[in-house]
A and B are shown apart, each in its own frame.
With several copies, the nearest count.
Chain A
Amino acid sequence: MERNLMKGNEALAEAAIRAGCKCFFGYPITPQTELAAYMAKRMHKAGGVFLQAESEIAAINMVLGAASTGVRAMTSSSSPGISLKSEGVSYIAGSDLPAVIINVERGGPGLGGIQPSQADYWQATKALGHGDFQLLVYAPASVQEMVDYVVKAFDRADKYRMPAMILADGLLGQMMEPVTFPEINPNAYDKSGWAANGHKMQREHHIINSLYLKPDELENSILDRYKRYEIIKETETEAELYLTEDCDILVCAFGATARVAKSAVNDARAQGIKAGLFRPKTLWPFPVKEINEAAKNAKKLLSVEMSMGQMIEDIKLAINCSKPVEFYGRTGGVIPTPAEVLGEIKRMGGAL
C-alpha cells in the first residue's frame, strides 16, 4: 500500500470519503481548517456534498437533517465550535441518529488559543450537551489512527444509531506523517426501518424526533438507549498496553500526549525504571477491563494530559481507587515534553 504524507486533518477527510461519508457540513476554525478545505476539493468529485454552513450550529443541524434521511454525515470543528454544537449533538443522540463529529481540540476556555489541548475530555465523555446520553469517543494518536478511527466511527455510529466523535487535538490535526489507506468496504446498515427519506406511499411515515412529552415515554427511550450503551461498554473498548506486564509505574495518556508519554516510558526503561503505558483508544466507553489488566502489577499510576486533569477521574473510577493515581499536565496549548514526564516518573519512582 502506498505511503502518503498527509496532515492529520486531511487524512480525516480522505478517510471519511472512503468510508462512504456522503456529506460534510462545517464552519472554519483553526486548527482543523485543512479538513474542510480538503472536503471542498474532493467531496463533489466523490459524488458527495460539501457545504460551508453559516455557523457551527447550522452545520450540526444540517448533519442531523442529512443523517435523518439515512445518509452518512459528518461535521468537524474545534473546541469553541464544539460547544456551539452541543445542543445539536444532544438532539442527534436523542433522535437515535448516527453521525460523526470531529473535535480537533485547542486551548480553552473561551477563545483560548490555537495550540493543541485535551481539555474537552469531560465535554466529550460526559456532557456534550444537556440530558442523559453518551457519544462514542475515539482518541487516535497518529495520522494513521485518524484514518482507522474515522472508518470505525462511521461504522459504529450506524451500528448503534448514535453520534461518534473523534477527539483529536491541534497537534494530531496539523502534523504530517506517512499514512496508508486500507481497502475500505463500508458496512451497509439497513436504515429503511427508520430513515425519513420519503415513504413513496409504500410504508408508514417515519418520524425523527427527540420529543417525548410523557415522562415515562421519555424515560423508556432513555433506558433503551442505555441498554445499547451497556453492550457498547462490554464490546467496544479499545486500548494499547505497552510494557505494562511488569511495570511499577503505569503512565496513562491518550492521543498526542500518549506519544510524549511513550517516549518518556522508553527513556525511563533505558534508565532502569519499570514504567509502562496505558493508552485508551476509546475514551467512552473507557477501557475498564484493559486498565485493570495494565495496572495489575503497578504500584502507582500517573495520568498525563494536556489539561488540568480530567481523565484522571475515569482512571480512579475504573480501578475503583485501588491504587494511587497522580497527575501531570500541561494546558493552554503547552505540549508536555518527554523529559518532563520522565521527571515525574522518576519522582514517583523515587518514592516507591
Chain B
Amino acid sequence: MAVVFERPKSLIDVPTHYCPGCTHGIVHRILCEVIDEMGIEGDTIGVCPVGCSVMAYDYFNCDMIEAAHGRAPAVATGVKRTNPDKFVFTYQGDGDLAAIGTAETVHVATRGENIVVIFINNTIYGMTGGQMAPTTLPGQVTQTTPFGRSPELAGYPVKVCEMLSTLTGTAYAERVAVDSVPHIKAAKKAIRKAFENQKAGKGFSIVEVLSTCPTNWGLAPLDAIKRLQDEMIPYYPLGVYKDVEEGVFPKTEGGNE
C-alpha cells in the first residue's frame, strides 16, 4: 500500500499547542503542503505574529522570525527588501493584522511589498482568552463585549480583503475558509497562487482564511465549524477580491533612477 496522505515534510513532526479542533492546524498543513510542492522550504523565511500562532516557529521547518504584535508585515518587509530572492510570508491573526497592526498591514499592501500574508480571521482574540477582535461580528459575545458587540459602542468589523483591495499595491486578495474539504482545497489553491505571485514578483498577496476558535467561542469543534458556515461566511463572503494578473508594477510606470 502507498501512503496517499500524510504530514507535509516542512511541517515539523511535533504535537501543536492548539486547542482540539482549532483550524490553525489545518492552515499550517496546507501552507506547508504548498511549500513542499513548490520545493521552497530552504528559501522561505516565515514571520510569526503574536497570537495563538506565536509559536508557529516550532512547527514550520523553514527559517522563522517571531515579530512583535502586529508588526509582522514590517518585519517581513525588512527581510524581503534585504533578501529579495527569498520567499517571505507572514502568518497573522485578526487582532494582530487588523487591530494593532493596521498601519503595517495597509502599508505593506500599498507598497506592493512582494510577500505573502496568511491572515487567520477567527473573529476573536484567541491567545489572550477571547476578547473582541476587529473582525468580531455584530452581536457576538466576547470577554470585552459581554452583552454582544454593539456597533454603537464597539464599532463595526473591518473587512480586510475589501479594504486592501482599494490599494494599488495589492496584487491579489482572496478570502477562503477551512470549514470543509472543498473549501480547504480552495484555500490551498489560493495560498499556492499567492506564493506563485511572489515568485513572479507581482506585488502584495493576501489570503484571508475564515477560521474557528472553538475554545473562545465556547463551542464544540463541530459546532464551531457550523458557526463559521452559518454566521461568518455570510458576513465575510468568500472569493477573489483582487487579482492583478500582470502584477502591480507595470514596466512603464515609476520614477526609478
Contacts and interface: CB of A to CB of B under 8 A. Distances in A.
Interface residues of A, number: 56
Interface in A21-51: 22-23, 25, 27-30, 33, 36-37, 40-41, 44, 49-51
A197 interface: yes
B42 A65 contact: no
A263 interface: no
A259 B180 CA distance: 53
Nearest to B63: A196
Majority DSSP secondary structure for residues of B touching A = mixed
A206 B61 CA distance: 9
B113 to A, nearest CB: 10
Interface stretch (B75-83, B185-193, B199-207): B75-83
Interface in B102-143: 102-104, 106-107, 125, 127-129, 131-132, 134, 143
Contact of A40 (B54, B64, B107, B144): B144
A28 B64 contact: no
B43 interface: yes
A49 B62 contact: no
B128 A55 contact: no
A61 to B, nearest CB: 4
B30 interface: no
A52 to B, nearest CB: 5
Given A61-B74, A65-B77, A68-B75, A55 B64 contact: no
Interface residues of B, number: 55
Nearest to A53: B74
B33 interface: no
Contact of A197 (B58, B68, B81, B86): B86
B71 A198 contact: no
Contacts of A91: 67-68
Interface stretch (A173-181, A208-216, A217-225, A315-323): A208-216
> Which residue among B70, B75, B95, B102 has the maximum number of chain A CB atoms within 10 Å of its CB?
B75
Interface stretch (B21-29, B44-52, B217-225, B236-244): B44-52
A71 B60 CA distance: 23
A20 interface: no
Contact of A202 (B42, B106, B154): B42
A201 B42 contact: yes
Given A58-B74, A68-B79, A208 B107 contact: no
A87 B77 contact: no
B162 interface: no
Given A54-B107, A68-B79, A209 B71 contact: no
Interface of B: 41-45, 47, 50, 54-55, 57-58, 60-71, 74-79, 81-83, 86, 95, 99-100, 102-104, 106-107, 125, 127-129, 131-132, 134, 143-146, 153-154, 257
13 contacts: A41-B146, A52-B132, A57-B104, A62-B81, A68-B79, A69-B83, A73-B82, A196-B64, A196-B65, A199-B63, A200-B42, A200-B43, A207-B66
Given A58-B71, A95-B66, A205-B61, 10 more contacts: A28-B125, A28-B128, A37-B144, A63-B78, A69-B45, A91-B68, A198-B45, A198-B62, A205-B60, A207-B64
Interface of A: 22-23, 25, 27-30, 33, 36-37, 40-41, 44, 49-59, 61-69, 71, 73, 80, 87-88, 91, 95, 110-111, 196-202, 205-211
